[in-house]
Amino acid sequence: MSKFFIILVSLFMCIIHSHAHHSLYKDASLPISERVEDLLSNMTLKEKAMQLTQGRIGENDNLNNLENGKQKFIPTTGSFIFFGTNVIYRNEYQKRAVEDTRLGIPLLFAYDVIHGYRTVYPISLGQACSFNTNLVEKACRFAAKEASDTGINWTFSPMIDVARDPRWGRVSEGYGEDPLVNSAFCIASVKGYQGNDLTHSDTIAACLKHFVGYSESVAGIDYAYSDISERAMWETYLPPYLAGINAGAATIMSGFNDINGVPAVCNDFYLNQILRKKWGFNGVVVSDWNAIRQLKNQGFSKNPLVQGSASLKAGNDIDMMSGIYMRIPKMVEQGYIDEATVDDAVRRVLELKFKLGLFENPYTTVQEPELCYLKEDYINISEQLAIESMVLLKNNQVLPITSSTKIFVVGNLLNDNEALLGSWAMRGRSEDVFDIMSGLELYKPTDVILVDSAENADIILMCIGETQKMSGENGSRSTIKLHNQGLVNEYKKYGKKIILITSSGRPISFQDIEENADAILHIWQPGTTTGTALAKIIFGINNPSGKLAMTFPRTAGQIPIYYNKHQSSRIGNRDWSGLYQDIESTPMYEFGYGLSYTTFAYTDLHINQDTLEAQVTITNTGERAGKETVLWFISDPEASITQPIKKLKYFEKIDLLPGESKTVFFPINKSNHLSYDLNGKSIFEAGTFNILVGTQLSSFEVN
Ligand code: GLC
């Protein structure tokens, strides 16, 4: 055999081998870790940089987010925020990545599915007031179905920033002021979005945001500096993230905020030391929109190579929309960062894509769009969640309306369906919303008449509240007075009973209007099924069961005000306990407050000193069936590190028929319920603890 022929054959074999070797990552029978390493070993530095870059496809409908220069589609980009709804269009982009590039790495399509996609559920702060995690898990499951049917495989949700300042518009997006409530709904959302197997076509990767402490924005201003003590971080802001990571959340988004002088996007301590090293999170961290370039504004650096390398080294894997990570080859070349660090980030992105099954199933099945949305199950869950999120704040025996009554309905909510959808309504449409008047018409008893003037009415049903843009991102307000509250005083002159139906994306001040209302039902922003959910409550078909997940101050001057505060050094008599001189210092309505059309009695609180199991009996002492959320609070009145006056440690929601009693149990354990956090370490100190549930209070000793 001639030498030439031998060389030719061996060359051919090398090509075959290298090609075969190169496509090892496409072999689905191999472990993901092997596929990742094989693919990574074949990538150029530029290809790696593109995998860490996130662009957008479709028209950006978030007007808060400006863009840097013209967007051009580069098929080797790692991920896109998909503002489109056309699956064929989406698959064409995917095809260019999978079939027209050297390595065929599929794209990730992300979107902000915060409280629904096309079917809109109540805003998250309203959902939290339901205290019904099963219902929220179902809602997120259905939201994932609608979104994945449209080609989305990654949502930037749940937002779990514990919120204590209602001036900040984004309190609407999270689950209120309590760390346990945010943790519980974080777990429910992650389970709902991700299901049991991320390779299933109807699951989407969750994203815990905005890591960390973004809600502690100075003065309630958005995007601002956050000055947070380590105590507050460990006691309040970090726990929901650990809960979400333990629930298997695939990704995390770093915040816009500057954390005590080190902006979140390049904060090595929280991203690398805590998230990755202490908690072992090995998922993807994505920046917020243009956050890396914004490091210039925050006084960190004007140099994009410093901005980018600092963020990447800190553990921020993907650059959302700044384009700076596309300069990673230059950062490596000039010694700002080593390629091994780049590889770590690329590994996590590739692993996410393999976990999502994108290499095997990169395309979304094309269906008739309208058949994917607003399905009966989705609507039913949306309505149930809307009903359970509404909070009855006052009722002078005027609700429910059941007997023959003439009602005059008035207020800005009657003609503003967008307001009822709330912020981040995404593909939700105002024309899909079941509006308030239609709901009242549909469910009113035959002898209840809707009249067209206040004079002719027995009751004025006043539906007032914030517009969609008054809360959410970039929705900070210096006052929390209710938008259009002047209407209450205007209609007071008719001398009729006034039922206030209020809507907002934040706790609001009822200081000026509470006394003129005979009933107040706060509905938050209930979403697509507002009209039917509200009518069912007003006419008593359903009994309200919502409880506040965030305290309502009397006035903005009290902010920050929250239930789990630390004790003052002077307490008791108001004259010398440092309280306000000009107003009552307690909140208007505290965390956990909410009325029902029935009443519940709490009796026989007992703690088993051996097993530390607490139990209490709850009886429905009224005439109607109702749901009651049982909130268990623990306090530790003496500890080397002072503790909040009380902390929610357990909750569950029960159904009770009239006259029915149930015994509810709370299995107390030292580490979860009686210890406190000292910079990440759980500390238990023996001593006396107090337990509060409903009207029952007791103490117990633990050694
Ligand atoms: C926004 C928000 C973030 C959202 C992202 C993408 O600025 O801060 O919550 O996920 O941009 O829309």
Please compute the mean of the pLDDT values over residues 655-673 and round it to a whole number: 97
Q: Quick: pLDDT tens for 41-52.
A: 999 999 999 999
Q: Quick: pLDDT tens for 470-494.
A: 999 999 999 999 989 999 999 999 9
User: What's the pLDDT at 374?
Assistant: 98
Q: Tokens 């979107």 identify what position?
A: 111
Confidence of residue 14 (pLDDT cuts 50, 70, 90): low
In this structure, the dihedral spanned by the alpha carbons of residues 485, 125, 136 and 154, taken in order and rounded to 10 degrees, is 120
Q: Known catalytic residues? A: 288
Please compute the mean of the pLDDT values over residues 228-234 and round it to a whole number: 96
700 C-alpha vs ligand 1 centroid, how far in Å? 46
For ligand 1, atom 6, which residue shows the shortest CA distance?
289
Question: In the structure encoding, which two tokens stand for residue 42, read together?
Answer: 């074949």
In this structure, the dihedral spanned by the alpha carbons of residues 363, 368, 372 and 375, taken in order and rounded to 10 degrees, is -160
Q: Give the residue, out of 152, 161, 289, with the most ligand 1 atoms within 8 A of its beta carbon, to mutate for a pocket test.
A: 289
475 C-alpha vs ligand 1 centroid, how far in Å? 13
Alpha-carbon distance of 112 to 89, in angstroms, equals 19
Residue 15 pLDDT greater than 80, yes or no: no
Q: Give the residue, out of 54, 82, 473, with the most ligand 1 atoms within 8 A of its beta carbon, to mutate for a pocket test.
A: 473
For ligand 1, atom 12, which residue shows the shortest CA distance?
112
Confidence of residue 511 (pLDDT cuts 50, 70, 90): very high
Q: How many H-runs (helices) and E-runs (strands) does the chain carry?
A: 19, 26
User: What's the pLDDT at 120?
Assistant: 98
For ligand 1, atom 8, which residue shows the shortest CA distance?
288
Distance separating the N- and C-terminal Cα atoms of the chain: 87
Q: 453 CB contacts (<8 Å, ≥6 apart)?
A: 408
289 C-alpha vs ligand 1 centroid, how far in Å? 6
For ligand 1, atom 1, which residue shows the shortest CA distance?
289
Mean pLDDT of the residues in the chain: 96
CA atoms within 13 Å, Cβ hemisphere of 612: 16
Q: Quick: pLDDT tens for 97-112.
A: 999 999 999 999 999 9
Question: In the structure encoding, which two tokens stand for residue 577, read together?
Answer: 């306990």
User: What's the pLDDT at 505?
Assistant: 98
Alpha-carbon distance of 477 to 556, in angstroms, equals 10
User: What's the pLDDT at 68?
Assistant: 66
Residue 16 pLDDT greater than 70, yes or no: no
User: What's the pLDDT at 577?
Assistant: 86
Question: In the structure encoding, which two tokens stand for residue 699, read together?
Answer: 């103490």
Please compute the mean of the pLDDT values over residues 355-384 and round it to a whole number: 97
Residue 34 pLDDT greater than 60, yes or no: yes
Question: In the structure encoding, which two tokens stand for residue 281, read together?
Answer: 């999170």
Planar angle of CA 343, 346, 348, nearest 5 degrees: 115
Between 86-90, 576-580, 592-596, 696-700, the lowest mean confidence (pLDDT) is in 576-580
Q: Give the residue, out of 56, 59, 61, 62, with the most ligand 1 atoms within 8 A of its beta carbon, to mutate for a pocket test.
A: 62
Residue 654 pLDDT greater than 50, yes or no: yes
210 C-alpha vs ligand 1 centroid, how far in Å? 9
Confidence of residue 2 (pLDDT cuts 50, 70, 90): confident
For ligand 1, atom 3, which residue shows the shortest CA distance?
288
Better-predicted residue by pLDDT, 59 or 94: 94
109 C-alpha vs ligand 1 centroid, how far in Å? 14
Confidence of residue 20 (pLDDT cuts 50, 70, 90): very low
Please compute the mean of the pLDDT values over residues 179-202 and round it to a whole number: 98
User: What's the pLDDT at 201?
Assistant: 97
For ligand 1, atom 11, which residue shows the shortest CA distance?
289
Q: Quick: pLDDT tens for 311-337.
A: 999 999 999 999 999 999 999 999 999
pTM, full prediction? 0.96
Per the DSSP assignment, residues forming a β-bridge with 631 are: 651
Q: What residue type is assigned to position 547 of the chain?
A: K
Query: Which ligand 1 atom minimizes the distance to the CA of 207?
Result: 10
In angstroms, what is the C-alpha Rg of the chain? 27
62 C-alpha vs ligand 1 centroid, how far in Å? 8
Residues in contact with ligand 1 by the CB-under-6-Å rule are: 62, 64-65, 81, 112, 156, 209, 288-289, 473
User: What's the pLDDT at 9?
Assistant: 65
94: closest CA among 76, 71, 112, 111?
A: 76
156 C-alpha vs ligand 1 centroid, how far in Å? 7
User: What's the pLDDT at 8?
Assistant: 67
Residue 595 pLDDT greater than 60, yes or no: yes
Query: Which ligand 1 atom minimizes the distance to the CA of 159?
Result: 9
User: What's the pLDDT at 66?
Assistant: 76
User: What's the pLDDT at 107?
Assistant: 98
Quote the percentage of the chain above a pLDDT of 70.
97
Query: Which ligand 1 atom minimizes the distance to the CA of 112?
Result: 10
Q: Is 391 helix (H, G, I), strand (E, B) or coil?
A: strand
User: What's the pLDDT at 62?
Assistant: 84
